[in-house]
């Protein structure tokens, strides 16, 4: 018993010392989305801060493709030593159900590190739609089932799933019109070819202020820092509705727990800085802070939440 205890203490001490020296070389942050999007922007922001704190470069590598599968699989196959991280989003938790043939399983092949932030979406309609709030939109949709359309940036994206959650919780029949990206969807809503869209609040706020679309609600639990005058969907008659875009960091499975906790602590420290919170608030983003264990539970709950919506809506995507 004594010898076993001594071995355990020695191993724990060795792991702790190794984590204290971490990182010992540049760290890759794999972003499985295109450059310029929220995941890329915040990965670079966080990488700069982590580099300053931990003394090694944090290099962002964009690996888009196959609905985020390409870069995610590459990160899953990396050495589990903390020198490769994955910038992920709720696209990943949706994909756990939506893409059954993906080459990885999120909670098997990755270990949670830390959440980063979340941003609200904005429910907008073209000015030609004769509604000024969510209650009127629901009444119109129920009077014309299947005749209203909403655009999204593609199947399984937060824009799409926000619409499906809205349909499910409000019990309305609205047709989904998928695009290959948010810009195409946004363009057609602004032109009136599609009546409505759940879009990033930062992207649509200027269009609201110039009268090109009407803002009906934001999708978070509380009002947006960018458009506090716009009520939430929950306030507008769909209680409990919550559909935001959130980002987080994960590492390959079997990454030492001490490394995960060190990274978690650094990310939590960074996102809590007053200047960071102020800058992100101006962009419509809110910092998230959870322990490794809490983030694990958050991920599992989000996977289950979207699994129910995918199954109820009968959403299928070939992969």
Q: At 11, is the pLDDT very low, low, confident or very high (cuts 50, 70, 90)?
A: very low
Whole-angstrom distance, CA of residue 222 vs CA of residue 228 = 9
pLDDT tens profile 297-308 = 999 999 999 999
Whole-angstrom distance, CA of residue 248 vs CA of residue 181 = 21
Percent of the chain with pLDDT over 90: 82
Is the model's pLDDT at 170 over the cut of 80?
A: yes
- Domain 26-119+245-313 identical in fold to domain 124-218: yes
Q: Residue 20 has what pLDDT? A: 82
Please provide the average confidence, as pLDDT, over all residues in the chain.
92
Domain map (residue ranges) of the chain: 26-119+245-313, 124-218
Is the model's pLDDT at 2 over the cut of 60?
A: no
Q: Residue 10 has what pLDDT? A: 47
Name the class of domain 124-218: alpha beta
Whole-angstrom distance, CA of residue 53 vs CA of residue 262 = 11
* 64, 32 contact by CB (below 8 A): yes
pTM to 2 decimals? 0.85
pLDDT tens profile 46-67 = 999 999 999 999 999 999 988 8
Name the class of domain 26-119+245-313: alpha beta
In this prediction, residues 143-157 reach a mean pLDDT of 92
pLDDT tens profile 242-288 = 999 999 999 999 999 999 999 999 999 999 999 999 999 998 899 99
Higher pLDDT, 87 or 6: 87
Whole-angstrom distance, CA of residue 193 vs CA of residue 66 = 28
Q: Residue 319 has what pLDDT? A: 56
Whole-angstrom distance, CA of residue 34 vs CA of residue 42 = 13
Is the model's pLDDT at 212 over the cut of 60?
A: yes
* 234, 147 contact by CB (below 8 A): no
Q: Residue 115 has what pLDDT? A: 98
Q: At 17, is the pLDDT very low, low, confident or very high (cuts 50, 70, 90)?
A: low
Q: Residue 202 has what pLDDT? A: 85
pLDDT tens profile 68-108 = 999 999 999 999 999 999 999 999 999 999 999 999 999 99
Sign, CA torsion 206/209/210/213: positive
In this prediction, residues 114-133 reach a mean pLDDT of 97
| Phi, psi dihedral angles at 151 (to 5 degrees) | -90, 155
Is the model's pLDDT at 175 over the cut of 60?
A: yes
Q: Residue 4 has what pLDDT? A: 57
């Amino acid at each position: 018993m004594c010898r076993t205890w001594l071995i355990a203490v020695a191993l724990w001490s060795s792991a702790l010392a190794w984590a204290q020296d971490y990182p010992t070389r540049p760290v890759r942050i794999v972003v499985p989305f295109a450059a310029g999007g929220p995941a890329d922007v915040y990965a670079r922001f966080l990488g700069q801060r982590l580099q300053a704190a931990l003394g090694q470069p944090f290099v962002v590598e964009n690996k888009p493709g196959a609905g985020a599968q390409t870069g995610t699989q590459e990160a899953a196959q990396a050495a589990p030593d903390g020198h490769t991280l994955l910038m992920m989003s709720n696209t990943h938790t949706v994909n756990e159900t939506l893409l059954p043939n993906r080459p990885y399983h999120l909670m098997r092949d990755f270990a949670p590190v830390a959440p980063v932030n979340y941003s609200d979406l904005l429910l907008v309609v073209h000015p030609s739609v004769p509604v000024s709030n969510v209650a009127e939109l629901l009444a119109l949709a129920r009077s014309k089932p299947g005749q209203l359309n909403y655009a999204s940036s593609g199947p399984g994206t937060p824009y799409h799933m926000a619409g499906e959650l809205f349909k499910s919780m409000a019990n309305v029949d609205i047709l989904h019109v998928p695009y290959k990206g948010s810009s195409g969807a946004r363009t057609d809503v602004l032109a009136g070819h599609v009546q409505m869209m759940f879009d990033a609040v930062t992207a649509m706020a200027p269009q609201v202020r110039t009268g090109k679309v009407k803002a009906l609600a934001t999708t978070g639990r509380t009002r947006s820092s960018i458009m506090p005058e716009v009520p939430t969907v929950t306030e507008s008659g769909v209680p409990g509705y919550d559909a935001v875009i959130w980002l987080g960091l994960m590492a390959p499975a079997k990454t030492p727990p001490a490394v995960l906790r060190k990274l978690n602590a650094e990310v939590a420290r960074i996102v809590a800085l007053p200047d960071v919170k102020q800058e992100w608030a101006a962009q419509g983003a809110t910092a998230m802070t959870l322990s490794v264990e809490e983030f694990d539970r958050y991920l599992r709950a989000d996977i289950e939440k979207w699994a129910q919506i995918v199954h109820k809506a009968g959403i299928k995507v070939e992969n």
